[in-house]
Structure 1
Amino acid sequence: MKAVLAFMFYWYCTCNFAQTQNTDSLRRILNNGQIIDTVRINTLLLLSEDLAYKDLDNSLSLAMEAIERSEALNWNEGLARSYRQAGIIEYYKPNYDKALNHLHLALTYSERSKNALLKASIYNNIANIYADLKEFDKALVYYDRLLKVAREANSEKDELIALFNIATIYTELGDYDRSLQNFFSSLDLAEKASITQHLPAIYNNIARTYQYMHEDEQALQYLDQGIAVAEESDNRYILSTLLRNKGELLRDANQFEQAELSLIRSIELSQENGSVEWESLAWETLSSVYEQQNKAELALDAFRKHIRLRDSIINEEKKAELIKKDLIFEKEKDQALYKAEIERQKTIRNASILGGGSLLFMAGMAMFFYRRRLHAISEKEKAEFKAKVADTELKALRAQMNPHFIFNTLNSINSFFIKNNREAASDYLKKFAGLIRKILENSEKKLIPLKEDLELLNTYFEIESRRLPDKFDHIFIIDESIDTENTLVPPLILQPFIENSIWHGIANKKDKGVIAIEVRKRKDTLLYVVDDNGVGRKPEKRKEMNRSMGMQIATNRIAIINATESNGGVKVIDKEEGLRVEIELPLTLAF
């Protein structure tokens, strides 16, 4: 009997710093009735992902609420991500027809949102369903689409997933040498890029391939590695598969007691996850373990449970219906794209005929006057700009080392010591010292990786939340197409704006507030957003905020950066409740 197949989903994360938000924190954010709509949708998806391995029904309910709210906003990317999450959960149940319907809708909305990596992840999930249905040729088509997009976008994570799933197909086709070659390439890539969440699935499928080759000792070695990683990360879904496969190997080695323990645990995890397919397979293997021990009654009972669950999963009629739906969807999509292209070409042709001549004339005149003016003032601007750079860089460090922030923090630490709460004081002091050390280290750097900057901001949030307990929650929302380790940003450019949100927006609010930090791509620029639902600015206070030293220095830094590389800047938007600050910077990559 063959071991359980494990394909890999593209694990989307609404924010790369989701690990800083536990389930209780996310629920508190959702319970805040005044939370802004896009933050609520992202929080719903974060919580749905957090529950996907633990409570499938609640996870699906959260995804469906995200769909409803995205529809109300007419937000294509939100709809694509929400339908994808719903498809993933239905796959886990497994309800393949519902999963495929959700994923096709996700694919449609992803095309409208122009998010290539989002579309690639949906290709992968659709391919997984066809692989489960043994439609390997169709699965390879979708995996090849994923691999193409991954390489074009230089996305190591997506390339890893594509290699892994293609290797899994080769295992199913019996091409074990080619399969292991791709699996070890994906393992090397996962370790190199620290993509640890995929390690359990890679270990599982390497073990599975060795098992097919009758090299059980090596298979058991990789299963144990996978189990250790899955337990550490609490990935119960893949853990149930690993334990089931280990039970099968132990049974073949006549280690029946250990096999029974492993399989019973696999069944328990499958029941917790609502994973009917994995539970069915575990009962089947356990039945054979009992049979070899001459425990006929237990063997029969286990086999009956396996048959009952197996028959509830999928039949040939459902399979035919899925394939039919897929063909209809592909045809309708091609027709829609064809019509859209005809309209686009017509619009371009008409615009070119009517406006081409006048545009050329105006452009020529504008260029002539622009060059004359530029030549006259360029030398003066260069001198002024250099002086401004030097002055602003010196002030930037002082702004980050805000004396009020340092004084208040030290007072808070001293208060803990006075109350004899040494453990809290020590923890607080470590965080504060770590933040100050990093600020000093980065004072000589113009750019640092986005991942490091977000970690610094998270530490700053933690320190401020200790001084203002139960006053606010914070959430990071990172565009999934952004590689946080390869993207470079000015260190702590957001800190003064966050400080303003905390002390002028949230601290004066009667109830608990929320501060959302968003990072998105906008063509060749990086968009930073600080969005709070605090008390906002009264009209008479708006000029006072603009004169804030920290914010003025940060604004000057941004102006200097954009003066040499892009046309970005700072935009402060007053909302009915709260404030939204948008900061646009040039998109800078390490390599």
Structure 2
Amino acid sequence: MNRLIIYLTIWLLTGPCITMTAQDSVPPVYQNSARKAVMKLSTSLESGKSDYSVATDYEALAKTLMIQGEYEKAMNYLISARQLFYKIKNNEKIARVDREMARIQEIQGKIQEAILSYGNAAHLSQDTNFIELNTNDVNRLKNISNPVAQSPYIQRNIELLNTSYKPEQQEDRVAAFHQMANVNLVMDNKEAAIGNLNSILSEVKDKPVETIKVQREIAKVYAADSQQVKALASLQQSYDMALKEGHTIEAKKSLEQLVEQYRKGNQQWKALDLYADFMEKLEPLVKSDSTLIDQKFFQAHEARIAQLEKERILKDELIRKKNTFNYVLIGSIVLILIFLVFIVKAWYSIRRKNKKIALQSLRREMNPHFIFNSLNSVNQFIAQNNELEANKYLSSYSRLMRNIMENSNRDFTPLSTELEQLKEYLDLEHMRFSDKFVYETEVDESLDTDHISVPNMLIQPQLENAIWHGLRYKESGGLLKLSVKPEGNSLCVKIEDNGIGLKKSNELKTRHQKEHHSRGLTNTRERINLLNSLYGMHITIEIIEKEGNDEDTGVIVLLRFPLIV
């Protein structure tokens, strides 16, 4: 009766086991690492960590799922990781994610997609070893139907991975040894295949689940090579480790293969004893199996992760829209500021041009009066039948007018040119009033008159005023002094006469003469104001009437300019 119950138990256990083995949807084995990866990702998403941190956590969870055979879920998390690495433009991390995606695609039989992913990884990376690693995998998959052609590429990858050993490339080394073992099996070199599988055991010795799986693979190779004793030994090790580590599903898989090997060796009684042993340990094994608890934990948190992903995407979208609005706003403000700057600049330019035009107009306003007085003098010489003096006057006058006209559009002229024109003007006036006054000029020797600039036609009207409103009323003995000397950072032009003075001159003037004199001073002051405004200068004019007895009369005019070199 007891033996019947055992056989019934074997049938109940074997049936589901066989069914599950025949299907692809094997219940996943979740280790504590999966729990940690899920919790870390959830925390990163909840706390709003950087894109790099979240992407790294996606990648870590995907790697854990790959080990457990959850390839679709792993692929989804790798895609999420890739999107974030792409967002922050980290090409090296994108390349490594592409390589992990290629491994999944290769396992799923999507060879062309895997070739493309390996190629992308090689293209994006700057690491020469990593580039060669992926290029070799591209060439290996292109020769997937030819194991002999694949072998050199796999062997080269193993050499690369062993030469530049990095802990994070453990999955690459395991994959390379697996590939070589598969090629060995296709070429019926079982000994070499076992050697490569043992190399995998060395890599994953600290990972129980992977160790259990590799031991089962080794057992299959031994069984195919009719080495039943070694096959049973490997399976027993696999089974014992699964029980020790508390992995129910892995223990069940190892048990299936052990039972199968005992059946083939006509050792059914050992199979029955093994099942009996398993049934005794099943209940406490299930209760202590953290992987089954982790499965429920993961399922509960998977929905939470999905919700957090949606919230993060929504948050990123809101930030993007806000940034777009800010960029548009800033761009609009910048455009408005540029427009305002343009308007202000144009306004200042127009204003400056208007001031220049006004300055030219004021300069030219002085010329008609000068021309009128000069022509009167010529008329006077002709009336006196003094043709020689008239010709001489006209010659000097034409030369002076030519110089004045040549410089009429300039706001500033060299001091040497200005002094030359002033001398010609004084010579003309002296010819007209030779019996009234004489003039003296004094220029400081330290001044480089060729390289110092002064306002054009600003001194001449002051000389004209001194002659026409002061000296011409004297019978004789008139003296006009023009001196130019430096005063610190300024140039001082002093015009001094011993004429009749301002007060007496105003008494003798006609109404028309008074208006002209007033307009002449106004013109000078307006020109000074315009020059100061246009060029940021400080030009001043000071008119001083001498106060003394009747013999000590006259006016002093002081013009001060910045010393412009």
TM-score category by the smaller chain?
0.3 to 0.5
| TM score, norm. by length of structure 1 | 0.38
| TM score, norm. by length of structure 2 | 0.39
Rg bigger for which structure? 2
